Amino acid sequence: MALEKITQVTGRGVFIPGDDIDTDRIIPARFMKCVTFDGLGEFAFADARLHDKEAGRIHPLDDPRFAGATILLSGSNFGCGSSREHAPQSLYRFGHRAIIAESFAEIFFGNSTTLGVPCVKLSQQDIAGLAAIIESDPEAMITIDLTENKVTVADVDFSAEITIPGHAREALTTGRWDSIADLVDGLDEVKKRVTAIPYLAS
Amino acid sequence: MAIGKPKVRRINVDGKLAPGVYAKDVILHIIRHLGVNGGIGYAYEYGGSTFDNFTQEERMTVCNMAIEGGARVGYVNPDETTFEYLRGRPYAPKGADWDAAVARWKATASDADAVYDDIVNFKAEEILPTVTWGITPAQAVFIDEAIPDPKNLPEKDRATAIEAIEHMKVTSGTPVDGLKIDVAFLGSCTNGRLSDLQEVAKHLKLQKGRKVAPHVKAIVVPGSQGVAAIAEKMGIAEIFREAGFEWRGAGCSMCLGMNPDKLVGDQLCASSSNRNFKGRQGSPTGRTMLMSPLMVAAAALTGTVTDARKVFGIQ
């Protein structure tokens, strides 16, 4: 069952600076006692946002200038720590449809890809450049093109090459990003394979 | 497919750990040196004589924290230690099925001439009891070291270090030995196994009459109900209770604060768990220092982060 082919994501951006932003930061564990992922969006970065509010600052996710942004930018090793799917789920439900960072933690990357949320890498310098564009014009429309391997900004002279592992690019652009849908699709092959795996066959 | 094949990094640790140095110290040391993002794109294969001589449970402690090092997965090749650990356990195959399973498991082990994408070597003798001082598991030092000055760290680590020092309310140059704790948490999937509880109980027993410091809330949470039942039967629970620890039901407890076991405000917790992220233990301003189970016990008794080898007379 092929899903939507994700070749391009276009939208406004929001920059959450910092390296090693872990999944506890993205969605604190106490919000995980849910039966479904519905409603997780409002708790994305809950503690960081509250902390900023108490300190008289505005967290980027609460900054009205960036309301409705669909592309999240951050630093290196984004999504490290606990493997909770709740982290990409909360960002997805907050409205993010793609993430740009210097690098991603493995499991977060996999969980995001299987939600159809491309995680693409840019150099620190290009992220800083993109963040500066967003800061001066929050309405700037960013486009991530997975076919052209590029990030561009409408009406701005900005173009940078993205990095995304081949398997993820292929999965997203061919609409095969949901591994479970893939397995269901190939149920006959799965059944055949099971007979060849000793501990499943017996 | 949405899943890619990782590269493999072989991490060798060779030699004998000094008394009072544990598997937890080994993995904190590895992450300290390879970084929390060093494993991105990799599976970690641990080996070398230290791992050969480790019990299966010690290996599990190290493998458990491969994720903290950024790797997708961590493993030690199956060997006789592994098979002995599994033999006779619930759901383990029996009879001819067992022999077939062992043959299959053996076939999955790396060949002696396997080629790796990367190889890293550590010496066991160089590893000392290790504690984290910051908000990532890589922000770790030996117990005789001080909180680092971000200025002296590589540029890429500086911003996170500054953030960590602010969150942890610590000062660069201050020794970690002596930091006053509020809570001691012994448990989690990293270090809540029977051998962890046995090791601590063995040393507590030798300190007969010594109690948890009055200002410290100390809890012991077995990793599973099975572990809890055995530990109770062996008298381990009683040793902890006598020393002033709360013996609790099995579970995740204060590792991540999903049940009422949470830090309050900016309490500082000596914890045998695996993650010290901001807010991890249930309070957004709570502070976590990761360490081995015996180091947690030493902190509980003295009320401060301290060298367990001195507290328990380990030489």
Q: What ipTM is given for this predicted complex?
A: 0.89
**Does A182 map to a domain?**
no
Q: Report yes or no on A180 lying in a domain.
A: no
The whole-angstrom separation of Cα B269 and Cα B305 is 9
Q: Do B284 and A20 touch (CB under 8 A)?
A: no
Instruction: Using 50 as the pLDDT threshold, list the residues of chain A that sit under it.
Output: none
Secondary-structure class of domain B129-315 per CATH = alpha beta
Residues B243, B244, B246: CA angle, nearest 5 degrees = 120
Fold of B7-124: Aconitase; Domain 2 (3.40.1060)
**3-class SS at B39?**
coil
Q: What percent of chain A has pLDDT over 70?
A: 99
Note whether residue A76 is domain-resident.
yes
Decide if B163 and A165 are in contact by the 8 Å CB cutoff. no
Rounded (10°) CA dihedral A3, A86, A51, B68: -110
> In CATH, what number is assigned to the domain containing residue A20?
3.20.19.10
Q: So what's the pLDDT on residue A133? A: 98
- Taking CB atoms and an 8 Å cut-off, how many pairs form between chains A and B? 108
pTM of the model: 0.94
Is the Cα torsion angle A194, A196, A201, B3 positive or negative in sign?
negative
Total of domains in chain A:
1
How is chain B split into domains, by residue range?
A: 7-124, 129-315
Selecting from B2, B262, B277 the residue whose C-beta is nearest the C-beta of A177 gives: B2
Count the residues in chain B: 315
Q: Which domain covers residue A154, as residue numbers?
A: 8-175
The pLDDT value recorded for residue A106 is 92
**B129-315 shares the fold of B7-124:** no
Q: Is residue A84 situated within a structural domain?
A: yes
For residue B82, the model assigns a pLDDT of 98
Residues of A in contact with B160 (CB under 8 A): 18-20
Q: Do B39 and A166 touch (CB under 8 A)?
A: no
* pLDDT tens, N- to C-terminus, chain B (315 residues): 667 889 999 999 999 999 999 999 999 999 999 999 999 999 999 999 999 999 999 999 999 999 999 999 999 999 999 999 999 999 999 999 999 999 999 999 999 999 999 999 999 999 999 999 999 999 999 999 999 999 999 999 999 999 999 999 999 999 999 999 999 999 999 999 999 999 999 999 999 889 999 999 999 999 999 999 999 999 999 999 999 999 999 999 999 988 899 999 999 999 999 999 999 999 999 999 999 999 999 999 999 999 999 999 999
Instruction: Tell me the H-state helices in chain B.
Output: 23-34, 49-53, 56-64, 80-86, 95-108, 155-168, 188-191, 194-206, 225-233, 236-242, 293-302, 308-311
Q: Which of A6, A20, A190 to mutate to test the interface with B (most CBs of B within 10 A)?
A: A20
